[in-house]
Amino acid sequence: MINLKIVPINKSKPRVLLSAYQCVPRMEAVSQIGWQWYSRLAQQVPTTLVTHIRNRTDILKTGAPFADSEIIFIDTEWFAKPYYKTICKLFPYSEHARDLLFSPDFFLFDWLAIRQLKSRQKAGADWDIIHAVTPVSPMALTRLHTLKKPIILGPWNGGLKSPTTFPEIMREDSGWLYPIRSLGSLVNLISGTTKHATTILTATQATLNIVPKRHHSHCRYLIENGVDLNVFTPTPWPTPPSADQPLNILFVGRFQPFKGLPMLLEAIARLHTKQPIKLTVIGDGILREKWHDTAKELNINHLVKWMGPKPSVEIAKQLHIAHVLCLPSVRESGGAVLLEAMACARPVLTIKYGGPAEVVDDEVGYAIPPDGGTEQVINALVESLQDIAIHPEIWKKRGKNGSQKAIQLYGWDAKIRQALELYQEILDV
């Protein structure tokens, strides 16, 4: 454990103990969530961040710790490295399976963190409130309540069932392992995590459904993802697609089976002779070679720009020149890139399942019903992409609507304000 800078007592502001197992600047997904919570809270209130030692190098490069904050790094690498290496060999194609089976490292992290924090309490350290923000999975059942302080969990995002209409994709994603998540209920019963939580933040209806009903009274809705509105800014929609102007489509995501990129490639193969199209793909993963080969087999590789992984600034740049962001993910719990596209005033095209179903409607884009499986989704993608060229003003308006919604609801500053109000509400009781 490495401690940096002791937090001074400031009675006018709540002292927050922030647990963020995943917390890395300049990374996407859950690590970015942890970083946004820490970097922004630390500017508002005295904050103690507890995170994994694997995040240390990237965090310290930013100049952290910030303001009246301290950082405690917990080291489990002696266990995590060999264990993760084994999991990757067993499940090279499924990120969900790897994350699921890697849960024991979080429990070890949590146990070691609590030991250190209790020692600090005995030495005189103190906090007013505890907030566990990552992992966002309801299976990440912390025992931080044993520190005897009010505790907020989440926003959690989990409990999403596997879709039954995409069996071939779920087989590739090792979907047969997902029922293991039901063991979380047993772990929760033993650990007492939700029982002792002051507030549980749930990002979706699916997440609320797996919280025991007796604890629903202290659940609140808050989506786990947010948008950095300083990076993802609205810009005018490009010149509408036409016979001379290609339809610019952007896909951003890890190359995992459930992301559904092959369905988008198939849709483009069916459409490109009728409408000039350009697809830009940002992302990478174990399926890189396979998906490149798919584009070649469909004779559309010349229409695809494979950019690899890119930082947020570059993603925003590509959104600004795109007509639409397309994420045909069949099992997306969150979908941060949808919010980023909306913030840039770009319409979004996705599948009506999981997190996207709760964010995307006809006002900001279109969410394709998943009921008919792969073929129905491909047909709907073709029709929707055609519609952008036929009714450009409608899609342009959807982009503007999305920008307004993102600014009002999904900006990180707004989320931190909500959190600070919640902290005060809890402490005032």
Q: Give me the number of domains the chain comprises.
A: 2
* Residues 265 and 395 placed together within one structural domain of the fold: yes
Q: How confident is the model at residue 268 (pLDDT cuts 50, 70, 90)?
A: very high
Find the CATH number of the domain harbouring 328. Answer: 3.40.50.2000
User: Rounded to an integer, what distance in angstroms lies between the CA atom of residue 44 and that of residue 416?
Assistant: 9
Residue 304 has pLDDT above 70, yes or no: yes
* Residues 417 and 356 placed together within one structural domain of the fold: no
Residue 118 has pLDDT above 70, yes or no: yes
Question: Measuring CA to CA, which residue among 370, 366, 315 is closest to residue 343?
Answer: 315
Task: Indicate whether 392 belongs to any domain.
Answer: yes
Residue 91 has pLDDT above 80, yes or no: no
pLDDT given for residue 104 in this prediction: 87
* Residues 13 and 26 placed together within one structural domain of the fold: yes
Task: Indicate whether 147 belongs to any domain.
Answer: yes
Question: Measuring CA to CA, which residue among 206, 202, 204 is closest to residue 178?
Answer: 206
* Residues 258 and 182 placed together within one structural domain of the fold: no
**H helical segments located in 42-141:** 56-61, 77-90, 95-101, 103-122
Q: How confident is the model at residue 96 (pLDDT cuts 50, 70, 90)?
A: low
* Residues 312 and 193 placed together within one structural domain of the fold: no
* Residues 335 and 390 placed together within one structural domain of the fold: yes
Task: Indicate whether 234 belongs to any domain.
Answer: no
- In the chain, the amino acid numbered 197 is A
Task: Indicate whether 242 belongs to any domain.
Answer: no
Task: Indicate whether 326 belongs to any domain.
Answer: yes
* Residues 64 and 211 placed together within one structural domain of the fold: yes
- Residues 206-224: b if buried by 16+ CB within 10 A, e if exposed: bbbebbeeebeeebeebbb
User: Rounded to an integer, what distance in angstroms lies between the CA atom of residue 30 and that of residue 340?
Assistant: 15
Contact 289, 219 (CB under 8 A): no
Peptide bond into 135 cis (omega under 30): yes
Given the DSSP bridges, would you call strands 47-52 and 2-4 parallel, antiparallel or unpaired? unpaired
Q: What is the pTM of this model?
A: 0.88
Contact 265, 328 (CB under 8 A): no
Given the DSSP bridges, would you call strands 129-134 and 219-221 parallel, antiparallel or unpaired? unpaired
- In the chain, the amino acid numbered 324 is V
Name the residue range of residue 340's domain: 247-409
Q: What are the pLDDT digits (tens) for 154-181?
A: 999 887 787 888 778 767 755 545 555 5
Q: How confident is the model at residue 94 (pLDDT cuts 50, 70, 90)?
A: low
Q: What are the pLDDT digits (tens) for 383-417?
A: 999 999 999 999 999 999 999 999 999 999 999 99
* Residues 404 and 416 placed together within one structural domain of the fold: no
Peptide bond into 65 cis (omega under 30): yes
Q: What is the largest CA-CA distance in the chain?
A: 72
Task: Indicate whether 387 belongs to any domain.
Answer: yes
For residue 339, what are its two tokens?
């919010």
Q: What are the pLDDT digits (tens) for 201-252?
A: 999 888 998 888 999 999 999 999 999 999 999 999 999 998 889 999 999 9
Can you tell me which residue has the tokens 């290496």?
Answer: 85
* Residues 209 and 267 placed together within one structural domain of the fold: no
* Residues 380 and 420 placed together within one structural domain of the fold: no
Given the DSSP bridges, would you call strands 2-4 and 69-74 parallel, antiparallel or unpaired? antiparallel
Task: Indicate whether 241 belongs to any domain.
Answer: no
Task: Indicate whether 181 belongs to any domain.
Answer: yes
Cβ-based neighbours of 371, under 8 Å, separated by 6 or more: 165
Q: How confident is the model at residue 186 (pLDDT cuts 50, 70, 90)?
A: low
* Residues 252 and 221 placed together within one structural domain of the fold: no
* Residues 364 and 424 placed together within one structural domain of the fold: no
pLDDT given for residue 3 in this prediction: 40
Contact 50, 422 (CB under 8 A): no
Q: What are the pLDDT digits (tens) for 320-373?
A: 999 999 999 998 888 899 999 999 999 999 999 989 999 999 999 999 999 989
Three-state DSSP state, 244: coil
pLDDT given for residue 175 in this prediction: 52
